[in-house]
Amino acid sequence: MSAATRAPAAPAAGRAPRAAFLAHNPFGDPWTIGFFYREKMRAIHRIAPDESFRDVLEVGGGQGGLTGLLYPAARVVNVDANVCHGRAEPNQRAHTRFLCGDATALPFPEASFDAVTMFDLLEHVPDDGSAAREAWRVLRPGGALLVSSPSQHWRFPYYRALARWCPSEAEILADWGHVRRGYSLQQLEALVGRPIESWASFLSPVTVLGHDVSFSKLSHRARHGLCAALGPLTWTAYALHRRHARGTENAALWRKPRAWP
């Protein structure tokens, strides 16, 4: 029996409705400090296929449980390098199994999963090419690969005026464990070796203000207050943001051909 099939079976069902998915934003203070995560979730939902995936691999899912929220009836295996994340509540759900492992050497046979997700992972992996190849290897023909990552427009803080209150870019990248800033869509396509089927941007030049305040050096109270004050601007820009508008991060979908050798 493959590792993918050891989790309890679940009835086939498609992608979670967008409102239900967004309502479960796992980031704290979801309407202020954590609003940027809602933007990420919406972009992912925009490109995620509404299909009945039974076996889904979440690579580098950490403790957020995002893939399980996106496909709540699927059997999800979360492979993450941090063994401590296995104790998190999302990794204790009935249809989720946690494994401590390496994204560049996945412990599964070829064609084990209907979908593979790599949300904000590749920018953390020194050998990102091997991680992409492994994800493609364990994906079944006809399956979906979903990726999110910072784009070529990402920088921190986005506006120099915030530099006084924010960590430096080098400090924030080190704190987050990034080994690179991010990828253009063309770089992602080269990494996977296939054209992107669908993509959506998030964190626009307006909403990124709230993101950068959220990760500033200010106190939690000050960050919460500033994000609330920016709320009308942030929420309006979020509502008006179109999937292919300029953003500092992207979500992208690939489909493995059914006739894959």
The pTM for the full model equals 0.93
Neighbours of 261 (CB within 10 A): 4
The two structure tokens encoding residue 90: 């999302």
The amino acid occupying position 233 is: L
Query: In 3D, which of 245, 231, 249 has the Cα closest to residue 156?
Result: 249
DSSP-based three-state secondary structure for 159: coil
Contact indicator for 79, 101 with CB cutoff of 8 Å: yes
Boundaries of every domain in the chain: 3-255
> What would the CATH number be for the domain defined by 3-255?
3.40.50.150
3-class DSSP assignment, residue 140 = strand
pLDDT tens string, the chain, 261 residues long: the values are 344 444 444 444 699 999 999 999 999 899 999 999 999 999 999 999 999 999 999 999 888 899 999 999 999 999 998 888 888 888 888 889 998 999 999 999 999 999 999 999 999 999 999 999 999 999 999 999 999 999 999 999 999 999 999 999 999 999 999 999 999 999 999 999 999 999 999 999 999 999 999 999 999 999 999 999 999 999 999 999 999 999 999 999 999 998 867
